[in-house]
Structure 1
Amino acid sequence: MGEINIPRDQQNALNAIDDNELDRLVDQAIREERLGDLNRLPLTSCGPYISKKLHYFEQALAKYREAKAPRKRAETGHTLQRAGSDLSFAVDAMKRRMEEEQKEGQVFYVDDQIVPPYRFDKRLSVRVSYRWRRTVDDEWTFGSITFVHDVDLRPDYTTPVPKRKPSAAKQEQDRQNELSQTWQHLMRGALYSVRDYFREGGDGDKIPDTFQATIDSYTRGLNNYSTQFWRQQP
């Protein structure tokens, strides 16, 4: 799945599933104690969320099938029923999300296909591209905003000092790992901020070309508000 958008192939798989048929096949699988015709539905192509719920249902089905004692059958049967309901709910939730995305896509779209840099430096940046229009009758306007964050790499004195000083290569590897995690945080925050801005009716013409991410006064790092470019800056 994309970071904020459901990929086209997953949308096609979701559209191929009839909700009533799904419920019927889940009930049938529980009665027959095997997946059976439920395998015909493209559930594994609907993304990791639904795939995970299907896996849980399969596990619950296996435990129910293996149970022999009445008490164990009752316990595993209850778990199986809940897993089946969770699977149906997951499909319904993803369909509703897809419908919401398609409705929003008539007036804005945020591109979430962002490739990380090969190597990270302490000055991180993420460029988010988008298109928007005020009404479906207007022409599309294309734009982008670049989020910038200068990582504070000063040592954290609250963590214990290693007994042996790591090699220069190990230090650089640790540095790259830390910067990579911070970049991922910046990237996700940037995407969700632009999407939420448009969801709340924000004017695309007022989005700045660049934005210096704000930092948490306590951690010196990013927080949930760091990329909200429309907030009043201190």
Structure 2
Amino acid sequence: MSVINIPCDEQKALRQVDVQVLDRAISASLDARRPGATLRDLRLDSCGPFIAAKLREFDVALQAYAGAKAAKKLADTGERARRAGSDLGNAVRQMQQRIETQEQEGQRFFVYDQIIPPSHFTRTLSVRVCYRWRPSLEVEWAHGTITFTYSHDPCPDYSMPAPKRKSSTRQRAQDLQDELWREWEQLMNNGLHSLAEYFRQGGDGAAIPKTFQARTDAFDRRLNNFSCRFWLDLGGGI
């Protein structure tokens, strides 16, 4: 699954959407209180999970609007449907703008976000991220990698009630694997976004370290949004 890059097939589908036609299709669907043929023909469900989710929300809101009878219910569901339609249109515009931004950034750097998770997790987690970069358009691409590591040892959460029954050894092992999967996924997301942010702020790819031990929150010893900001160790930052 792509984390920071829009896949090529989604880009192609998004480019084919005329936002003015989309606005008219949304308006017509609101008037009819059901999705119109023009809206279906735009194939928004091919534009990625974010747009597909907004399309489903609009469809659900239209169904509620269509089923309303009383005046107050009509007003309430109609307002929710209009809001959902506006959210859908804005989402398409936002993703089309992201394509333009991705193209511009892609002239100077690219972070590969297709990362396969390990089949089994230990408390020592790592994510290797590959990238390419160049300081200007006149020079050849340089390639590199950075491996983010994290030792999962959180503070006990005493706010959670103790289980009434002790789980089996097998269940505890599975629960640990599920928890480590979530931690690994967060480490991956943090690492990818951190590396992309570093390049967006004009960071020098030659200064990126080969490995970086993620910083944990001082309170609960877990990852947070700042855990993978490796450039804070580069002597002056970006």
Do these two structures clear the TM 0.5 threshold for a shared fold by scoring above it?
A: yes
Residue aligning to 1:218: 219
Residue aligning to 1:16: 16
Residue aligning to 1:194: 195
Pairwise CA RMSD: 1.8
Residue aligning to 1:138: 139
Whole-Å separation in 2 of the counterparts to 1:153 and 1:29: 50
Shift of residue 57 of structure 1? 1.3
Residue aligning to 2:232: 231
CA contact (8 A) 2:155 2:220 kept: no
Shift of residue 161 of structure 1? 3.9
- Encode CA deviations 1:153-174: one digit per residue, 9 max, x unaligned: 6755554444543322122112
CA contact (8 A) 2:155 2:221 kept: no
Whole-Å separation in 1 of the counterparts to 2:73 and 2:157: 51
Aligned length: 233
Whole-Å separation in 2 of the counterparts to 1:82 and 1:177: 36
Whole-Å separation in 2 of the counterparts to 1:78 and 1:59: 13
Partner SS for 2:125: strand
Deviates more, 1:76-85 or 1:129-138: 76-85
Is it true that 1:176 corresponds to 2:201 in the alignment?
A: no
CA contact (8 A) 1:125 1:147 kept: yes
Deviates more, 1:48-57 or 1:64-73: 64-73
- Identical aligned pairs, as a percentage? 49
CA contact (8 A) 1:4 1:191 kept: yes
Residue aligning to 1:65: 66
Deviates more, 1:62-71 or 1:185-194: 62-71
Deviates more, 1:164-173 or 1:101-110: 164-173
Whole-Å separation in 2 of the counterparts to 1:35 and 1:159: 45
Whole-Å separation in 2 of the counterparts to 1:20 and 1:196: 32
- Encode CA deviations 1:18-40: one digit per residue, 9 max, x unaligned: 01111111112222332122100
- Encode CA deviations 1:171-216: one digit per residue, 9 max, x unaligned: 2112211211111111111101100000000000000001111122
Runs of 5+ consecutive residues of structure 2 not aligned to the other structure: none
Runs of 5+ consecutive residues of structure 1 not aligned to the other structure: none
Whole-Å separation in 1 of the counterparts to 2:155 and 2:225: 22
Residue aligning to 1:166: 167
Whole-Å separation in 2 of the counterparts to 1:160 and 1:55: 37
Question: Is the alpha carbon distance of 1:153 and 1:30 closer, same or farther for their aligned partners in structure 2, counting shifts above 3 Å?
Answer: closer
Deviates more, 1:11-20 or 1:214-223: 214-223
Which residue identity is paired with 2:86?
S
Whole-Å separation in 2 of the counterparts to 1:83 and 1:220: 39
Whole-Å separation in 1 of the counterparts to 2:201 and 2:122: 33
Deviates more, 1:149-158 or 1:64-73: 149-158
Residue aligning to 2:31: 31
User: Normalising by the residue count of structure 1, what TM-score does the alignment of the two structures yield?
Assistant: 0.93
Question: Is the alpha carbon distance of 1:161 and 1:108 closer, same or farther for their aligned partners in structure 2, counting shifts above 3 Å?
Answer: same
Partner SS for 1:166: coil
Whole-Å separation in 2 of the counterparts to 1:94 and 1:8: 13
- Encode CA deviations 1:56-94: one digit per residue, 9 max, x unaligned: 211222222222333332332222222211111110011
Whole-Å separation in 2 of the counterparts to 1:145 and 1:24: 47
User: Normalising by the residue count of structure 2, what TM-score does the alignment of the two structures yield?
Assistant: 0.91
Partner SS for 2:203: coil
Question: Is the alpha carbon distance of 1:158 and 1:85 closer, same or farther for their aligned partners in structure 2, counting shifts above 3 Å?
Answer: closer
Residue aligning to 1:97: 98
